[in-house]
Amino acid sequence: MPEVSQVHIDVALTNVSVQYRNAAFIAEEIAPPVSVKKQSGKYYVYDPERESFRQTDDKRAPGAEANEVGFALSTDSYNAEDHALEATIPDEERENADPMIQPEIDHTEFLMEKIGLNQEMEMANLILTDTALPGETLSGDAQWSDSDSDPVAAVEAKKAGIVEAIQIVPNTLVLPYEVYAKVRLHPKIVDRMKYSQVGGATTGQLAELFDVERILVPRAVKNTAHPGHAASIAYVWGKNAFLCYTPPRPALKQTAFAYTFRWAAAPGSVNGLVVERWRENRRKADMIRVQKYYDAKVIAAGAIYLWKAAVA
């Protein structure tokens, strides 16, 4: 909570302020939101044994019955937990604030940023620690920062495994900033782009080279220092990369690497997001609370391939 002296600045500029904000969250880019009516529930998994891909004798003799076939139907569950943070706006802070200080907006944006960061870190942890997800840890000349490596060939080699697992070509390559910064200047990639007028490959050009629909470059950072200590900043996604399939939008009978289940019917919410303000007379302050109900779930583990330590 800001001190009273921090929201009133002598002769402060009314059109200039400094704020550190996170950039390029991708949690809901790779796990598209699915609006659900109940906070918890189940969803169906059609034909988990891939019976539809099995060859079956369909010849029928005159007067005979056709061979009967069918598929299994299983379920999995979600629980859109409540993620909430709140902040206090004392009367003294409000009354002493200069015009460019907007207590309600500033505190609400701060809370939204914190919840967004937590969601991003939760998604990163889900992917980077799940041992059931296909992947490998690179080292030495296999790392994409090494001039002898070939990132394009490495990605192309893993597409077939995803197609085999989900029967869909992966469409999204995630190159966190530390990886992107080195891959775009990799000698073999630069050589492919030698007739380009740019100094390094752009995300659009990389998408063409890697033959995917899009390249995502998350740049979110986290402060790992304890409160009261100097900030220690690290990238949320680290030096890892992954290839996955993400549908344009959630749909029935649609394969996806992951979904974010949002409790859209949460009381007072707009599609699972709640922003509340109330008065605490005993504290002589207003309170701001931001809540978000969601659950990120891996839907198809075979729809991703992960490279840990993709660059040195």
Interacting residues of 43 by C-beta distance below 8 A, sequence separation 6+: 75, 76, 77, 78
Residue 17 — pLDDT band, cuts 50, 70, 90? very low
| pLDDT greater at residue 92 or residue 21 | 92
Interacting residues of 109 by C-beta distance below 8 A, sequence separation 6+: none
pTM: 0.85
Dihedral (Cα; 277, 280, 284, 288), 10-degree rounding: -30
What pLDDT shows up at residue 114? 93
According to the CATH classification, is domain 31-39+80-308 in 3.40.190.100? no
CA 32/CA 179 separation, integer angstroms:
23
What pLDDT shows up at residue 60? 79
Residue 209 — pLDDT band, cuts 50, 70, 90? very high
Q: For residue 87, list its beta bridge partners.
A: 288
| pLDDT greater at residue 226 or residue 51 | 226
Percent of the chain with pLDDT over 90: 64
Give the residue-averaged pLDDT of 137-159.
Answer: 96
Ordered by start, the domain boundaries in the chain are: 31-39+80-308
Write the pLDDT tens digit of every residue in 162-200.
999 999 999 999 999 999 999 999 999 988 877 665 556
Find, among 46, 42, 23, 22, the residue nearest to 34 by Cα.
42
User: How far is residue 192 from each of residues 5, 186, 196, 233, 241, measured CA to CA in Å?
Assistant: 56, 10, 9, 34, 21
What pLDDT shows up at residue 1? 64
CA 234/CA 306 separation, integer angstroms:
20
